[in-house]
Amino acid sequence: MKQTGMNFLRRKLALYKTGVEKRYRYYAMQDVDNTMSIVMPYNVKSAYRSVLEWTTKGVDALADRIVFREFGNDDFNATEIFNANNPDIFFDTAIQSALIGSCAFVYISKVDGELPRLQVIEAS
């Protein structure tokens, strides 16, 4: 099996799609805790719906603390490309996606006569 190329990456990401979608539901506080318990009877458990909120607070707290300063040994003018692509929004999106889904990709596209464009591709 060829282990390079876009099709390989798509197949690899498809293996983790359900887990990543669950993490995004946790972050959006939409996932309800449906675990069965021998400690709590069903009639008591069905009287309330608990949603995990600590994941949102944890991701946001970490994302606020991560600060991008510069590229080290910038032989390819990455700082110039980064600064031309709205670095505040780009970096925040990339960090948040990486913290929630455990990975994020940066797609670099080149248009003739312009600086390359950067786009964040989320794990989902």
**Considering the entire predicted model, what is its pTM?**
0.74
Residues 70 and 102 sit within 8 Å (Cβ to Cβ): no
How many whole angstroms separate alpha carbon 25 and alpha carbon 9? 23
Angle (CA) 53 91 25, round 5°: 25
* 5-48 confidence digits (pLDDT tens): 778 878 888 888 998 998 898 888 887 767 777 787 777 777 76
Structure tokens at 7: 């099709």
How many whole angstroms separate alpha carbon 101 and alpha carbon 24? 7
Of 77, 102, 81, the C-alpha closest to 90 is 81
